[in-house]
A = this chain, B = another copy of it.
Amino acid sequence: MNTTTEDTDDRARRSIGARRNPASQEAILDAAEAVLEESGIGGFSIEAVARRARAGKPTIYRWWPNRTLLMLDVYRRFKNARGFPDTGSVRGDLIALLQNHLLGFWKDSLCGTVYRAIIVEAQNDPDAAKALYAYQEERKKATEVIIERAKARGEVAKDVDGRLIIDMVVSFAWHQLLINRLDEAMGSIEGVVDGVLMGCAGYKR
């Protein structure tokens, strides 16, 4: 696009047009978030978001082909606002990951319900699945830095498979979300992290 940033911002303020630009995208996401907060998953539709954002439905559909993809972007924005844990130790980071970014994050906000709904949709809708897998890949890659930092600090061996560690922690959280045991799981966080880091006490092969 040949417009300057100022031009783009100015146009977005006047109306939410057909072009996906940061300002209008945020306005749609704001509206989507408000609809989710007020009406829950059941009342969440592209139509309701369009009404709230005073945007045309076709505009929203052009950017988010279905409501699940829009929900995922709302979820992603919440998640990104939390950043990534950096406590100075791998144990602290993994505990913070489960406490503030996975189990606790889902438990204490609408985000748990939203993420559950996204996972469900991904089982039936190939577009939702593709978007969820891409999001998972992006998050896991970013979270692997926890293990990279642990290697740099000499807390774990250089050849530890960081992706597998993150996958195990994320898997535990997903499972608890989907069997509705977030509350109980909060009490198992240290056990899981110590399990991943230290294995079974007294294990002799």
Contact = CB atoms under 8 A, between A and B. Distances in A.
Contacts of A18: none
A195 B165 contact: yes
A201 to B, nearest CB: 4
A21 interface: no
Contacts of A176: 171
Contacts of A191: 161, 164
Contacts of A200: 90, 150, 156-157, 160, 165, 196-198
Interface in A167-205: 167-168, 170-172, 174-176, 178-180, 188, 191-192, 195-205
Contact of A170 (B154, B165, B175, B197): B175
B175 A192 contact: no
Contacts of A116: 123
Interface in A89-128: 89-91, 116-117, 119-120, 122-124
Contacts of A27: none
A39 interface: no
B172 A167 contact: yes
Nearest to A201: B157
15 contacts: A89-B205, A133-B180, A156-B200, A156-B201, A156-B204, A157-B200, A157-B201, A159-B201, A164-B191, A164-B192, A168-B195, A171-B171, A178-B178, A197-B203, A197-B205
